[in-house]
Structures are given as C-alpha cells and as structure tokens.
Amino acid sequence: MSLSPDAIVLASPNYINNVTAWMKALFDRMGDCVHCQRMEGKYGAAVSTAGGSGAVYVAEYLNKTLSLMGADVVGAASVNMSEGQDAVNQAIKESHNIGMALAEAIETGRVFPDQKAGHEEMMNRMRDLVSLRSDDWTCEYAYFRAKKWL
Ligand SMILES: Cc1cc2nc3c(=O)[nH]c(=O)nc-3n(C[C@H](O)[C@H](O)[C@H](O)COP(=O)(O)O)c2cc1C
C-alpha cells in the first residue's frame, strides 16, 4: 500500500462476519504502520457489503484499523444485500457523500476533535513501546527519531 495519498478508502465484503482473509493479511503486514502511526495526517473511510448482515460491523472494523494507524476517519458506507435495492441505492448515495467529505477534508485540512484523544493515546502508547523496544524495532525507532517524536 502506498503511503503517499492524502486519503485511503478501504473496502471489503463480509466474509464470515469479518473482512476478507486478503484484507486481514494486509493488516497483519502493517504492524509498523500502527507502531509508527503512518496514517497520521491522512483521512480514511470504509465501504462494505454483506449478503445478509454484518456490513456495518465490517466497515467499522476497517475504519477502526485506519484510526489505529493514526488516520482521521470521515465515515463509512455499507449495505446488506438482503435489504434490497433501496438499501443499495442508499449506500451508493452514502458512498458519494463520503467521497465528497474526503475531498472537502483534504481541501480544508478539516480537523476531527472527537478523534484527537484516541490518536494521542495511541501515539503515547507507541512512543513508550518503540522506546522500550528500540534494540529490535530499529526501523520504528529511527522513524520516531527522524520525526522528533522521541
Ligand atoms: C467466503 C464467504 C463468506 C461470506 N460470509 C458472509 C457472512 O458471514 N455474512 C453475510 O451476510 N454474507 C457473507 N458472505 C456474502 C458476501 O458478503 C457477499 O457476497 C458480498 O457482500 C457481495 O455481495 P453480492 O454477492 O450480492 O455481490 C460471504 C461470502 C463469501 C464468498
């Protein structure tokens, strides 16, 4: 995953009440992005579908993961296909609105005060961990030093 964009939208169908194995495999390779809060200053959003139920949960999980990496999340769009065409149409509208909200956030540098405390808590926790494990987390340690976070 490139880290150069201003915003990242994650999408996954519901596979047995969670994201797909491919999405999870990606997350499992992104420990350093959590440690280094690599999505800090970026915006995120999530999209999910489900055959019967659970689309909201999957989208929330995707956004929670983006948030754990430091991103400000602007929203989510999800639909359970079992709810019919009206629900699909509604989700398409939501997706459009989220795209607009992302563009607006990037353009104006929107801040999300309600997400600030969570980011600060993660940053403090990661700073402690990276400091404690500086001998084996050498890349993370170098990144924190370069950022003057340590
Ligand atoms: C391996 C697999 C697991 C799935 N697990 C669930 C599930 O737990 N709950 C659910 O509502 N839908 C489940 N689905 C359905 C998908 O979420 C659904 O196919 C996807 O959202 C796309 O919708 P569509 O098939 O109508 O295009 C599963 C599909 C597959 C292939």
In the numeric block, which tokens belong to residue 9?
Answer: 């939208």
Ligand 1 atom 18: residue of nearest CA: 51
In the numeric block, which tokens belong to residue 133?
Answer: 């494990």
Give the pLDDT band (50/70/90) at residue 2: low
Q: Which atom of ligand 1 has the smallest separation from the CA of 48?
A: 21
78, 54 Cβ separation under 8 angstroms: no
Q: Which atom of ligand 1 has the smallest separation from the CA of 13?
A: 21
Q: Mean pLDDT of all residues in the chain?
A: 97
Three-state DSSP state, 47: strand
Give the pLDDT band (50/70/90) at residue 56: very high
Residues 128-134 have a mean pLDDT of: 98
How far away, in angstroms, is 73 Cα from ligand 1 center?
Answer: 25
Distance CA(87)–CA(149), nearest Å, equals: 45
Above pLDDT 90, what percent of the chain?
97
Question: What pTM value is reported for the model?
Answer: 0.95
Residues 118-135 have a mean pLDDT of: 98
Checking if the pLDDT of 18 tops 90, the result is yes
pLDDT of 1 reads 61
Nearest to 76 by CA among 38, 111, 29, 65: 65
The DSSP result for 102-142, as a single string, is: HHHHHHHT---HHHHHHHHHHHHHHHHHHHHTTTT-HHHHH
Above pLDDT 70, what percent of the chain?
99
Candidates 3.40.640.10, 3.50.50.60, 2.130.10.10, 3.40.50.360; correct CATH number of 7-110? 3.40.50.360
Checking if the pLDDT of 139 tops 90, the result is yes
Checking if the pLDDT of 70 tops 90, the result is yes
pLDDT of 3 reads 76
Domain parsing of the chain, residue ranges: 7-110
Pocket-forming residues, ligand 1, beta carbon under 6 Å: 13-17, 49-54, 81
pLDDT of 88 reads 98
